[in-house]
Chains A and B, each alone.
Chain A
Amino acid sequence: EVQLVQSGAEVKKPGESLRISCKGSGYSFTNYWINWVRQMPGKGLEWMGRIDPSDSYTNYSPSFQGHVTISTDKSISTAYLQWSSLKASDTAMYYCARRDSSSSDAFDIWGQGTMVTVSS
Chain B
Amino acid sequence: GAVVSQHPSRVICKSGTSVKIECRSLDFQATTMFWYRQFPKQSLMLMATSNEGSKATYEQGVEKDKFLINHASLTLSTLTVTSAHPEDSSFYICSATMTSGGRGDTQYFGPGTRLTVL
User: Do A and B associate with each other?
Assistant: no
A contact residues vs B (CB 8 Å cutoff) = none
